[in-house]
Structure 1
Amino acid sequence: MNLPDSVLGSNWLLGFSSIFFGILLGYIFGGFLVPRLTKTLTKDKLDTNHPLYIALLSLVRFFFFILGSYAALRFLKLEVGTEEKVSLYLKVFSILVFTFALARIGSGALALYSSKTEGFLPTASILNNIVRMIILLTGGLVALQTLGISVTPALTALGVGGIAFALGLQETLSNLFAGLGVLLGKKVSVGDYISLETGEEGLVEDINWRTTSLQKRNGSTIIIPNAKMSKTTFTNYSLPNSGIWTEIEIILPLGKNTDQYESLIRKSAQISLSQIYGQNSYNDSKIKIRYLSLEPSSVSLAIHLPIKDIKDSDQIRSTFIKSLHSEFISEGFSNISAKIRN
Structure 2
Amino acid sequence: MEEFVTRFIQIWTDFRYLIAIGAYVIWLCFAWVIIRTFDHIIRRLVRKTPNKIDDIILAEAHFPFWLISIIVGFYVVSITVGMPKAVQPFVSRFTELSVVFLVIYFFIRIIINIIRLAGEVNQGLRSLVPTFSRIANIFIFGAATMMVMDIFGISVTPILASLGIAGIAIGLAMQDTLSNFFAGIYILINQPVRNGDYIELENGLKGYIFHVGWRETRIKTLLNNYVVVPNSKLSQSIITNYNLPQSEMSCLVKVGVSYDSDLEEVEKVTLQVAKEVMKKVEGGVTSVLPLMRYHTFNDFSIDFTVVLTVSKFVDKYTIISEFIKALHKRYNKEGIVIPFPIRTIQMEKK
| TM-score category, normalised to shorter length | 0.5 to 0.7
Q: Does 2:50 correspond to 1:44?
A: yes
Query: Distance in 1 between the 2:218 and 2:74 partners?
Result: 50
Q: How high is the TM-score relative to the length of structure 2?
A: 0.53
Query: Distance in 2 between the 1:109 and 1:65 partners?
Result: 23
Q: Does 2:68 correspond to 1:66?
A: yes
Aligned equivalent of 1:226: 231
Secondary structure of 2:50's counterpart equals coil
Q: How high is the TM-score relative to the length of structure 1?
A: 0.54
Could you tell me how far 1:58 is from its partner in structure 2? 1.3
Equivalent residue for 1:56, pick from 49, 52, 58: 58
Query: Distance in 1 between the 2:227 and 2:24 partners?
Result: 56
Aligned equivalent of 2:10: none
Change (3 A) 1:263 1:172: closer
Structure 1 residues without counterparts, runs of 5 or longer = 292-300, 335-342
Aligned equivalent of 2:110: 105
Could you tell me how far 1:162 is from its partner in structure 2? 3.4
Residue type at the aligned position of 1:200: G
Query: Distance in 1 between the 2:212 and 2:154 partners?
Result: 39
Q: Tell whether the 8 Å contact from 2:253 to 2:306 is kept in structure 1 after alignment.
A: yes
Aligned equivalent of 1:245: 249
Change (3 A) 1:128 1:246: farther
Secondary structure of 1:102's counterpart equals helix
Q: Tell whether the 8 Å contact from 1:92 to 1:147 is kept in structure 2 after alignment.
A: no
Q: Does 2:89 correspond to 1:95?
A: no
Note the alpha carbon deviations across 1:303-323, whole angstroms, 9 max, x for none.
54447xxxx4179769979x9
Aligned equivalent of 2:159: 154
Q: Tell whether the 8 Å contact from 1:290 to 1:303 is kept in structure 2 after alignment.
A: no
Note the alpha carbon deviations across 1:251-308, whole angstroms, 9 max, x for none.
9xx9xx7545422244247769xx99896xx465xx46799xxxxxxxxx9854447x
Query: Distance in 1 between the 2:69 and 2:331 partners?
Result: 86
Secondary structure of 2:206's counterpart equals coil
Note the alpha carbon deviations across 1:164-185, whole angstroms, 9 max, x for none.
323454453232343356568x
Structure 2 residues without counterparts, runs of 5 or longer = 1-12, 259-264, 296-303, 334-350
CA RMSD between the two structures = 6.3
Could you tell me how far 1:244 is from its partner in structure 2? 6.4
Residue type at the aligned position of 1:199: K
Aligned equivalent of 2:5: none
Residue type at the aligned position of 1:195: I
Query: Distance in 1 between the 2:107 and 2:323 partners?
Result: 60
Q: Tell whether the 8 Å contact from 1:244 to 1:306 is kept in structure 2 after alignment.
A: yes
Aligned equivalent of 1:338: none
Change (3 A) 1:267 1:131: same
Could you tell me how far 1:57 is from its partner in structure 2? 0.7
Q: Does 2:270 correspond to 1:262?
A: yes
Residue type at the aligned position of 1:247: C
Note the alpha carbon deviations across 1:60-86, whole angstroms, 9 max, x for none.
221112211222344566544434334
Aligned equivalent of 2:89: 84
Query: Distance in 1 between the 2:285 and 2:271 partners?
Result: 21
Secondary structure of 1:148's counterpart equals coil
Change (3 A) 1:83 1:199: farther
Query: Distance in 1 between the 2:229 and 2:146 partners?
Result: 34
Residue type at the aligned position of 1:65: L
Could you tell me how far 1:195 is from its partner in structure 2? 1.9
Q: Tell whether the 8 Å contact from 1:29 to 1:60 is kept in structure 2 after alignment.
A: no
Aligned-residue sequence identity (percent) comes to 18
Q: Tell whether the 8 Å contact from 1:245 to 1:304 is kept in structure 2 after alignment.
A: no
Paired residues in the alignment total 296
Query: Distance in 1 between the 2:37 and 2:193 partners?
Result: 38
Aligned equivalent of 2:208: 201
